[in-house]
């Protein structure tokens, strides 16, 4: 996933609609990334109050008609809507609690396109050159199954992190340095992890699984497991073996000008791959998952549009 550095324009998504939600009604969603579909046992959704996306802080809006808030089964479009919506609300509440006066760079409300076509990808953009401003998610078939990037709380909160950082430090968005791009990717990963920790049941599970040692490989450190599984179907060495990126790793900072990547990217892909790769060190040193000088891997080595 990536931020898409395009011309800065401010316009709203034409098909956006405010979801009809009620804080008292429950919806089903994922506690964390739903993971590799081959994982046994399969993850079980949790039930949470229906989110109000257009509320403060940091309102967002998913394009299209919002389904009625109730419990839906995984695999349905309605479930995917609320998996995304609850992740957005969770992320906005978290970051809004830290920076109460924050407003989006793209306008009062952050537009979200839940399925913008075929791709194993997601991105944030200010808009322009054919892209509406906001968050874009996609779907793609791999291994006989269709994957939806907007269904993953990790992916949603990573992209939300790009929008948050753009709101805090807009100067970084188009900065012509790979260090700024790498920091953006790192911030997105940290946004995913810190937002996941807002879910109490997830915190308890991570503490149990790691026995309280948070710099162990865990559901917290593994980012976007499901998208990683989809990418590995055709590109088995493009991402980590158990996720898209894992915050528990042994990467250390290197001058980006001297970075070399074993995947031998084509020239048109090189700069963005380097920015993702260089984000690895940054995330680990400041993430709760890694108190040691480690870093996250790139969120999507091949999610390069
Ligand atoms: Zn990204």
pLDDT tens column, 140-155:
999 999 999 999 999 9
Q: What is the tens place of the pLDDT at every residue in 80-137? A: 999 999 999 999 999 999 999 999 999 999 999 999 999 999 999 999 989 999 999 9
Average pLDDT, the chain: 83
| Interval between CA 95 and ligand 1 midpoint (Å) | 17
Q: What average pLDDT score do residues 17-39 get?
A: 79
Q: What is the value of pTM for the model shown?
A: 0.81
Beta strands, E only, the chain:
2-4, 26-29, 46-49, 60-62, 110-113, 122-125, 134-137, 139-142, 145-148, 222-223, 245-246
Interval 197-226 mean pLDDT: 96
Average of per-residue pLDDT across 212-238: 95
* Burial 187-209, CB ≥16 within 10 A → b, else e: bbbbbbbbbbbebeebeebbeee
pLDDT at 277: 54
Q: How far is CA 35 from CA 144, 147, 173, 186, 290, in A?
A: 16, 11, 30, 21, 21
Listed in sequence order, the residues at least 6 apart from 254 whose beta carbon sits closer than 8 Å to its beta carbon are: 278, 281
* Cα separation, 147 vs 303, whole angstroms: 14
pLDDT for residue 4? 63
pLDDT in tens, 69-92: 999 999 999 999 999 999 999 999
Share of the chain above pLDDT 90, in %: 69
Inform me whether the pLDDT recorded for 269 exceeds 50.
Answer: no
Token pair 């890694």 is found at 290
In the reported structure, the alpha carbon of residue 186 is separated from the centroid of ligand 1 by a whole-number distance in angstroms of 8
Distance 29 CA to ligand 1 centre (A): 22
Residue whose structure tokens are 């939600």:
21
Checking if the pLDDT of 43 tops 80, the result is yes
pLDDT band at 254; cut points 50, 70, 90: confident
Cα–ligand 1 centroid distance for 188 (angstroms): 6
pLDDT value of position 21? 46
Ligand 1 centre to CA of 253 (Å) is 19
- What angle do the packed helices 178-196 and 153-168 form, to 10 degrees? 130
């Amino acid at each position: 996933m990536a931020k898409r550095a395009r011309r800065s324009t401010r316009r709203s998504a034409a098909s956006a609609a405010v979801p009809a939600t009620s804080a008292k009604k429950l919806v089903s969603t994922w506690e964390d990334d739903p993971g590799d579909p081959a994982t046994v046992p399969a993850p079980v959704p949790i039930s949470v109050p229906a989110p109000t996306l257009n509320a403060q802080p940091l309102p967002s809006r998913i394009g299209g008609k919002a389904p009625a808030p109730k419990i839906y089964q995984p695999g349905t479009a309605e479930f995917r809507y609320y998996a995304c919506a609850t992740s957005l609300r969770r992320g906005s509440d978290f970051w809004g609690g830290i920076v109460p006066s924050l407003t989006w760079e793209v306008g009062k409300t952050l537009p979200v396109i839940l399925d913008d076509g075929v791709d194993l990808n997601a991105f944030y953009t200010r808009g322009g050159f054919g892209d509406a401003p906001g968050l874009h998610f996609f779907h793609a078939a791999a291994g006989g199954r269709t994957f939806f990037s907007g269904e993953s709380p990790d992916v949603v909160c990573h992209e939300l992190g790009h929008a948050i950082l753009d709101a805090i430090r807009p100067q970084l968005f188009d900065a012509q340095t790979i260090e700024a791009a790498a920091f953006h990717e790192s911030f997105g990963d940290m946004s995913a992890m810190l937002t996941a920790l807002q879910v109490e049941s997830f915190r308890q599970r991570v503490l149990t699984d790691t026995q309280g040692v948070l710099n162990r490989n865990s559901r917290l450190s593994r980012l976007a497991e499901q998208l990683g599984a989809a990418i590995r179907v055709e590109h088995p060495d493009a991402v980590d073996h158990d996720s898209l990126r894992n915050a528990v790793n042994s990467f250390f900072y290197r001058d980006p000008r001297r970075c070399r990547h074993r995947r031998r990217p084509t020239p048109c892909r090189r700069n963005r791959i380097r920015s993702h790769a260089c984000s690895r060190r940054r995330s680990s040193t400041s993430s709760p998952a890694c108190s040691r000088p480690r870093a996250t891997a790139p969120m999507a080595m091949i999610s390069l549009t």
